[in-house]
């Protein structure tokens, strides 16, 4: 696609988002890009992904000749299983090397959460139109609790200081390597040194803290992607989207292809020990896979409609899922059965994160963050303040962050929640605080 065409398309796409009034409007526009001309797979051949390595000095953009030399065209189906090898040959950064830093140690703080509580608000400026707000499409928290990454409908990624709520860097890549459509997913690895983004354009972009989070790997040619996650070991990634295949990046090409029998997959979660991968999508089933050796391990119905987000409980073999049926489901992976089901109301739930091994926070189309005790199977409260669908939630240290179609990011102070409503809690709920321990 020509550069001018990309700019016109990106500008018109952002304008359409800012005019959106409901989650339904956004959902229709965020459907598979194959239904819209000019958006989608952008490899040299419709079925061939392109693997590019970024220059080691991010300030020196590669010219056309440099890009040509670092580009490999391979079969899409085989390439997405071989991307690791192709990328490492050209890249100065080994993204699969596990961090030598020890994982942050969890300490405890007590938070009672029973009633609505307004959070601190951040409204991002559009990269090219200062008078326009940016619709938040995805957020992710650095495991060290220092940074929040946020993607907007202007196709830029902001890195936000978790403590000051100030934007410390706005990542906008060059015309060759930037995202060309909605960014649906962001994720840090467990070390906090790598950030991956992907979305409707089918590109996977890997960024490294050593390069100020400039792009160090760029993978083209997948279908529209809705979720990408690092394996806990850091040596592998998994991606899903509008295709029945689960793409494993970092496994040898000879591995068995993993398919879910559904061409609308929305979420991935790895168990804390990395042995189980769970995938959910349109049919409402969770598809389980063993990761070593890689093989399917059964499908289990959880929701009446799409599963939109999943998270394993910390230190546990059970996972929490949310769906468009408005349910929060706790599923025991070992016993293969539903342990708890909580219906939070007449809304669609789009995102969930665990605040500790017990309390989950889920957001959706009713503009609220619902707080669920997953041990008791109870709705224990909510956080109110957003004026649009909540697209994503993430925890960093003592704070919970939420991004919304109302074009704001809100920060909810767990300490303040405790201090403001202690008399309303019938018991003390333990919320994990992860201290800032990782050096970058």
* 21 vs 60, more confident: 21
Q: Does some domain include residue 94? A: yes
pLDDT tier at 331, thresholds 50, 70, 90: very high
Q: Are strands 225-230 and 215-219 parallel, antiparallel or unpaired?
A: unpaired
- Predicted confidence at residue 362, as pLDDT, reads 98
The CA-based dihedral angle spanning residues 324, 281, 202, 74, taken in that order and rounded to the nearest 10 degrees: 180
**Which residue range(s) make up the domain with 324?**
3-100+125-355+403-408
* 101 vs 43, more confident: 101
Q: Let me know if 75 is exposed, middle or buried by CB neighbors in 10 A (0-12, 13-18, 19+).
A: middle
Count how many Cα atoms sit within 13 Å of the Cα of residue 46 in the half-sphere of its side chain: 3
pLDDT tier at 16, thresholds 50, 70, 90: very low
**Percentage of residues of the chain with pLDDT beyond 90:** 51
pLDDT tier at 1, thresholds 50, 70, 90: very low
CB 18 within 8 A of CB 25: no
Residue-wise pLDDT for 54-74, tens only, equals 443 333 333 333 333 333 333
**Percentage of residues of the chain with pLDDT beyond 70:** 64
pTM exceeds cut of 0.75: no
pLDDT tier at 252, thresholds 50, 70, 90: low
Q: Does some domain include residue 424? A: no
In this prediction, residues 369-391 reach a mean pLDDT of 93
The edge-to-edge listing of strands for the beta sheet with 327-332 is: 307-312, 318-323, 327-332, 337-343
The rounded distance, in Å, linking the Cα atoms of 287 and 277 is: 8
> What total of structural domains would you count in the chain?
1
pLDDT tier at 261, thresholds 50, 70, 90: confident
Q: Does some domain include residue 386? A: no
Can you tell me whether residue 6 is helix, strand or coil? helix
pLDDT tier at 427, thresholds 50, 70, 90: very low
The rounded distance, in Å, linking the Cα atoms of 234 and 237 is: 8
CB 20 within 8 A of CB 405: yes
Q: Does some domain include residue 365? A: no
Can you tell me whether residue 395 is helix, strand or coil? strand
Residue 154: phi and psi, rounded to 5, are -90, 5
* 21 vs 124, more confident: 124
Other Cβ atoms within 10 Å of 159 Cβ, number: 22
Other Cβ atoms within 10 Å of 66 Cβ, number: 15
In this prediction, residues 193-203 reach a mean pLDDT of 95
Q: 309 is written with which tokens?
A: 């987000």
The edge-to-edge listing of strands for the beta sheet with 237-241 is: 225-230, 237-241, 243-249, 258-259
The rounded distance, in Å, linking the Cα atoms of 105 and 436 is: 9
- Statement: residue 187 has pLDDT above 50: yes
Q: Does some domain include residue 203? A: yes
Residue-wise pLDDT for 66-97, tens only, equals 333 333 333 444 444 444 334 333 333 444 44
Q: Does some domain include residue 114? A: no
- Predicted confidence at residue 289, as pLDDT, reads 95
- Predicted confidence at residue 247, as pLDDT, reads 93
Kindly report the CATH number assigned to the domain that includes residue 83. Answer: 2.130.10.10
Q: Does some domain include residue 325? A: yes
Phi-psi region of 221 (alpha: psi -120 to 50; beta: other; left: phi over 0): left
> What's the chain's Rg over C-alpha atoms?
20
CB 248 within 8 A of CB 265: no
What sign does the dihedral 192-56-196-86 (CA atoms) show? negative
Q: Does some domain include residue 60? A: yes
The rounded distance, in Å, linking the Cα atoms of 307 and 316 is: 20
- The separation between the first and the last C-alpha atoms of the chain, rounded to the nearest angstrom, is 37
Alpha helices, H only, 95-142: none
- Predicted confidence at residue 136, as pLDDT, reads 97
Q: 315 is written with which tokens?
A: 């230190």
In this prediction, residues 285-292 reach a mean pLDDT of 94
For residue 329, give the DSSP letter: E
In this prediction, residues 135-143 reach a mean pLDDT of 96
The rounded distance, in Å, linking the Cα atoms of 357 and 374 is: 9
Phi-psi region of 169 (alpha: psi -120 to 50; beta: other; left: phi over 0): beta
């Amino acid at each position: 696609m020509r550069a001018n065409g990309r700019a016109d398309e990106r500008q018109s796409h952002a304008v359409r988002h800012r005019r959106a009034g409901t989650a339904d409007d956004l959902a229709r526009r965020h459907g598979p890009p194959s239904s819209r001309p000019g958006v989608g797979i952008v490899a040299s051949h419709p079925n061939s992904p392109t693997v590019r390595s970024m220059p080691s000095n991010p300030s020196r953009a590669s010219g056309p000749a440099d890009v040509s030399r670092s580009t490999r065209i391979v079969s899409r189906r085989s390439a997405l299983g071989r991307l690791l090898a192709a990328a490492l040959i050209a890249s100065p950064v080994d993204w699969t090397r596990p961090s030598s830093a020890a994982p942050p140690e969890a300490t405890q703080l007590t938070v009672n959460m029973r009633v609505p509580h307004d959070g601190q608000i951040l409204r991002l400026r559009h990269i090219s139109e200062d008078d326009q707000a940016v619709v938040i499409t995805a957020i992710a928290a650095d495991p060290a609790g220092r940074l929040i990454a946020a993607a907007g409908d202007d196709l830029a990624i902001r890195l936000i200081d978790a403590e000051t709520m100030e934007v410390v860097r706005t990542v906008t890549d060059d015309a060759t390597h930037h995202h060309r459509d909605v960014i649906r997913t962001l994720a840090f690895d467990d070390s906090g040194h790598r950030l991956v983004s992907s979305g409707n354009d089918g590109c996977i972009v890997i960024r490294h803290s050593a390069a100020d989070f400039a792009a160090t790997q760029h993978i083209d040619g997948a279908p529209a992607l809705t979720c990408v996650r690092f394996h806990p070991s850091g040596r592998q990634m998994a991606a899903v989207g509008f295709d029945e295949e689960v793409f494993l990046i970092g496994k040898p090409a000879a591995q068995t292809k993993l398919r879910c029998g559904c061409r609308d997959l929305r979420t991935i979660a790895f168990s804390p020990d990395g042995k189980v991968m769970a995938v959910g999508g349109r049919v409402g089933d969770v598809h389980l896979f063993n990761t070593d050796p890689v093989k399917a391990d059964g499908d289990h119905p959880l929701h009446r409609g799409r599963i939109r987000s999943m998270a394993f409980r910390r230190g546990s073999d059970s996972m929490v899922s949310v769906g468009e049926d408005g349910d929060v489901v706790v599923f025991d992976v070992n016993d293969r059965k539903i342990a708890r089901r909580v219906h939070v109301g007449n809304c669609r739930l789009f995102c969930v994160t665990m605040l500790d091994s017990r309390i989950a926070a889920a957001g959706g189309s009713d503009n609220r963050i619902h707080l669920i005790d997953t041990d008791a199977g109870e709705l224990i409260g909510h956080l109110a303040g957003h004026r649009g669908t909540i697209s994503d939630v993430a925890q960093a240290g003592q704070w919970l962050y939420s991004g919304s179609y109302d074009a704001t990011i809100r920060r909810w102070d767990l300490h303040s929640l405790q201090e403001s409503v202690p008399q309303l809690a019938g018991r003390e709920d333990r919320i994990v605080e992860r201290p800032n321990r990782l050096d970058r």
